[in-house]
Structure formats: C-alpha cells, structure tokens
Amino acid sequence: GAVVSQHPSRVICKSGTSVKIECRSLDFQATTMFWYRQFPKQSLMLMATSNEGSKATYEQGVEKDKFLINHASLTLSTLTVTSAHPEDSSFYICSARELREAGANVLTFGAGSRLTVL
Amino acid sequence: KQEVTQIPAALSVPEGENLVLNCSFTDSAIYNLQWFRQDPGKGLTSLLLIQSSQREQTSGRLNASLDKSSGRSTLYIAASQPGDSATYLCAVGGTYNFNKFYFGSGTKLNVKP
C-alpha cells in the first residue's frame, strides 16, 4: 500500500532557530500534500495545502512566513518552522493525496513529527 | 464550512464487547469518508474508506457505514480487544476539486482486559 515517510519523528530545538520537516511519498506520486497540526488531546487542524510546483494554500490564521512550505517534486514536500518559539511546539503531520483508479481520493498519513521548542 | 462531530468523545468497554462509534457531518455533499486510528504520539492509520456512492465497507472486525443524506457514518467494531484501544478519527473528504478533508475530534477508545 501507499506509504508516506515523515522525518524527523522528533526534534528539539532552541527558541529562534528554524526547523525543517520532510514529507515523502515513497511509492506513489502526490501532486497534493497536506500539513496538519495537532495540539494535545485535540484533532487535526489543517494548516496548508501543498501543491507541486506552485505556492501552498494556507488556511485562515496560519502565518505563511512562519510556516514555509515547499513542494518541489511529486514525492517531497517540506515544512519549515521559522524562528521557532515555544508556542510552536506541537505534533505536525503530513498527508499525501493519492489518486487511485476510478478517481478515488485517498489520504495517506505520515507518522508525524513532534517538535519541542525550548 | 463542513463540521464533523464524533460521539462519544471517550468510551471504555470490557474486552469482547461489540461497539459503535459515531460520526456526523453537516454538509452532505461529500466525496468520501475515511476512518482512521491514532495511537498515542503516532500518526494516523487508515482503517476504512467509503466513497460517497457506497453504503458500507468492511475489513476484518471493522464495518463502516455511510448515510450521506442524514450526514452520518458509524464504525462498528466487533469483539473488541485491548489492542483496539486508540483514538478513532473520521475525516470527510470534500468534492474532488476541493481537496479538503475535515476531521472530527475523535473518540478515545479503551478496551479493558
């Protein structure tokens, strides 16, 4: 089945530094990837939709300059948290949309990345 | 905007029980609906996918139904096991061109040995 690899799974950084999280579709091409944020004991909040070769579409309230998204190829999207602060500490999950036969629209998720900003 | 609600928020049952998790959505114009499982500190694992034209899907002890007109889906788990303990999320997919998926807040299931 489809696999999405997310790296790193855990990262701890100092306040003010930038952190990059990678999301790769391993055995399929993903023209669209999604980045979610999950706060403790809450559901997933869609941050942005990443489209290959074009700018990401951000959800209302998500700072574009804080969360930089790049989708340079059909198998890789990256999320960079710039000048991270403790309030950016969260669980970030990516997903890739796979188009199967008959136009089935299926989401496959990465394992998530736990970011802790000290 | 689509709103997805899951009831109950938490459920604790003894091993062996059959149980039903509920998911409701406000806009019936959906493309599909997926049920996911999330273990603590982990990503999401897809359990079942139902297309808007389908009424149900089955995988092992899991059965998901979809009633689009009433905006409801249920996930039925037969003969629950302690290993089923996790948070279950449903996500509603928008139209093909819309690309968005809306998540419920999840049902945290605890199956006691």
> What's the pLDDT tens digit per position in B63-111?
999 999 999 999 999 999 999 999 999 999 876 544 678 889 999 999 9
Residue A40: is the preceding peptide bond cis (ω within 30°)? no
- pLDDT tens per residue, range A19-76: 999 999 998 888 889 999 988 777 888 899 988 888 899 999 999 999 999 988 889 9
- From chain A, pick out residues whose CB is under 8 angstroms from the CB of B41: 91, 112, 114
Q: Which two tokens stand for residue A3?
A: 């696999």
Measured between CA atoms, how close is A29 to chain B, in angstroms?
16
Interface membership of A3 toward B (CB under 8 Å)? no
Task: Provide the pairing of β-strand A19-25 with A67-73.
Answer: unpaired
Task: Tell me, rounded to whole angstroms, the distance of Cα A7 from its chain centroid.
Answer: 10
Q: Cβ distance B14 to A77 under 8 Å?
A: no
Identity of the residue in A6, A49, A103 whose CB atom sits nearest the CB atom of B99: A49
Q: What is the spatial distance between Cα B42 and Cα B45, in angstroms, rounded to a whole number?
A: 9
CB pairs under 8 A between A and B: 52
Helix (H, G, I), strand (E, B) or coil at A43: coil
> Chain A residue closest to B104 (CA)?
A43
Q: Give Cβ neighbours of residue B61 (< 8 Å, ≥ 6 apart).
A: B77, B78, B79
